[in-house]
Structure 1
Amino acid sequence: MFDIGFFELLLIGIVGLLVLGPERLPRAARTAGLWVGRIKRSVSTMQREITSQLEAEELRQKLAEQQKKLDENVNQARRSVEKHFESGEKRDTQAPSASSADELHRVERSAPAASDDASSAPHDASPADKDSASR
């Protein structure tokens, strides 16, 4: 912070000795040292806080950039899926061919009809329920 060399400190010490005297100079030097230490700690604390705030801001910016990229990728994937389904719907809206209509009729005819006998009872019924139903 300040560029104080040996000769400046010597000059301050001599002036302090002349002004304060030998009795009060050690006490004044100790008090000045405590104040300088407190000031240094305060400045160091402020520097650390400023540095941490700057790092946090950098992380927020990087996070915002990554979020933006992720949003772009999600939007691109959504557009791709929508385009795929739109092209599929266009194919489905076209008239079905004769062979697919024949297949549909064949499947409908081959489906078994539901009957009312015991085989159509639910499969999750307990054996006691089945026994009581047969009585």
Structure 2
Amino acid sequence: MFDFGFWELVVVGLVALLVVGPERLPRLAREVGRWVGKIKQFVTSVRSDIEQEIKADELRRMLEDQEKEIHRLKTMMEDTEQDLRREVHQAQDKAESAAREAGARSGEHTSPGETPAKARDD
């Protein structure tokens, strides 16, 4: 947190010993240690909360991206289904028209009492 070297701490300790005195210095050191511990705990708690919020935000973004992808895939599937239905319908129409055409051709060459094989032989 703070960048204090050994000599800076020695100077602070000597000044505290001169100002506070040897009788009250241990109590002051305990109080300072307690406050430093509380500050470290607070900073750790805030850092943890921020990290949790960042993770939650990332998860929300990932969920939104996945929902967009799912929507895109559903749309693609619906389009494919419509295309397949259209193609099946067109194939059925072609098959029906081919069957009608074949029936019409075979009806042109045969008379009511003849079979199609006999008409072709003639």
Pairwise same-fold verdict (TM > 0.5): yes
- Counterpart code for 1:86: R
Deviations 1:88-135 (A, max 9, x none): 344556767459xxxxxxxxxxxxxxxxxxxxxxxxxxxxxxxxxxxx
Amino acid at match of 2:64: A
In the TM superposition, 1:4-43 aligns within 5 A as 4-43=4-43
User: Hey, what does 1:88 align to over in structure 2?
Assistant: 88
- SS of the equivalent of 1:14 reads helix
**Offset, 1:67:** 1.5
Deviates more, 1:88-97 or 1:36-45: 88-97
Residues 45-66 of structure 1: CA distance to partner in whole angstroms, max 9, x if unpaired?
1111111111121122122112
What TM-score does the superposition give when structure 1 sets the normalisation length?
0.65
SS at match of 1:23: coil
What is the Cα deviation at residue 33 of structure 1?
0.3
1:61 paired with 2:61, answer yes
What's the secondary structure of 1:3's corresponding residue? coil
* Aligned Cα root-mean-square deviation (Å): 2.2
Query: What's the TM-score once normalised by structure 2's chain length?
Result: 0.71
Aligned residue pairs, count? 100
Structure 1: how far apart are the matches of 2:34 and 2:91?
85
Structure 2 unpaired stretches of 5+: 103-122
For residues 75 and 52 of structure 2, the distance between their equivalents in structure 1, rounded to whole angstroms, comes to 34
Q: Work out which structure has the larger RCO, using CA pairs closer than 8 Å and 6 or more positions apart in sequence.
A: 2
Farther-moved stretch of structure 1 (87-96 vs 12-21): 87-96
Superposition misfits of 4+ residues, deviation over 3 angstroms? 87-99
- Give the deviation of 1:37 after TM superposition: 0.2
Aligned residue number for residue 124 of structure 1:
none
Structure 1 spans left out of the alignment, 5+ residues: 100-135
Match of 2:106 in 1: none
Identity of aligned residues (%): 36
